Amino acid sequence: MNTITLHNALPHVFAGRTDTGSEIWLRDVTFERGKHYIISAESGTGKSSLCSYLYGYRTDYFGNMTFDGRDIQSLSVAEWCQIRTHHIAYLAQDMKLFPELTAFENIMLKNCITNHKSEQEILGMMQHLGIGDKVNSLVSKLSIGQQQRVAIIRTLCQPCDFILLDEPVSHLDDTNNEIVAQMVTLEAQRQGAGVIATSVGNNVKIRVDKNYKL
């Protein structure tokens, strides 16, 4: 996958609006593989909805969204499974962790499917993000910031063309923000992937090719 394109897209909840003040909604926008994008937004402007559309969770929008020119609403379940396994790595705002599993088990749920990282690499990432001592801790016992770091590591445990991050550092301090930015940048470089990250104020500190206002 080399391009993700939006043409005149608008969430159904915004029906009737002709000028949202957005650089995404009701516009022609193309995200290119290998480039880095920040989508800055206020709460309630549809950033999590946008991510859900691009990951195939929701279809309640007007206009068109395409992958390499293919309308994403025409994709089959099998094609979406392929996209989610090999083309788009997604970090949801709510992280979607399993509270009854440990931090390491949550990460390995994905990695056992993709075989993208070695266990040693994952343990090293956890150590680098300051949660090396939480390997065997239940996610339900971790702070929100610690959970976010677990979710970020899990997101990076797959092959992809785009890394889609919904408020990836909302609960992190500057130091961990910078570490996350380094990890995301390195993984994107390794795979030639694009990065699309949303933010309501605390941007992940990656190099940015274009910053959009939602």
Q: What does the pLDDT look like over 131-180, one tens digit per residue?
A: 999 999 999 999 999 999 999 999 999 999 999 999 999 999 999 999 99
Q: Which stretches of 30-173 are DSSP H helices?
A: 47-54, 77-86, 103-114, 119-128, 144-155
Alpha-carbon separation of residue 158 from 2, 75, 86, 199, 202 (angstroms): 17, 21, 7, 23, 25
Average pLDDT, stretch 10-17?
92
Encode pLDDT of 170-211 as tens digits: 999 999 999 999 999 999 999 999 999 999 887 889 999 999
Residue 6 is encoded by which pair of tokens? 């939006």
Mean pLDDT of 115-131: 97
- Greater confidence (165 vs 20) lies with 165
The position carrying tokens 């040693």 is 120
Q: pLDDT confidence of 19, banded at 50, 70, 90?
A: confident
Q: Is the pLDDT assigned to residue 18 strictly greater than 90?
A: no
Check whether 20 has a pLDDT greater than 80.
Answer: no
pLDDT digits (tens, 9 = 90+) for 35-68: 999 999 888 889 999 999 999 999 999 999 999 9
Strands 210-213 and 36-40: parallel
36 close to 211: Cβ distance less than 8 angstroms: no
62 - beta bridge partners? 10
The pLDDT of residue 172 is: 93
Contact 135, 163 (CB under 8 A): no
Measure the CA–CA gap between 205 and 188, rounded to whole angstroms.
14
Q: What angle do CA 204, 164, 14 make, to 5 degrees?
A: 100
Rounded distance, CA 22 to CA 3, Å?
A: 20
Query: Percent of the chain beyond pLDDT 70?
Result: 100
Q: Say how many Å lie between the first and final Cα of the chain, rounded.
A: 24
Count of other CB atoms within 10 angstroms of residue 69: 8
Cα 22 to chain centroid distance, Å, stands at 20
Q: Helix 119-128 vs helix 144-155: angle between axes, to the nearest 10 degrees?
A: 140
In the chain, % of residues over pLDDT 90: 92
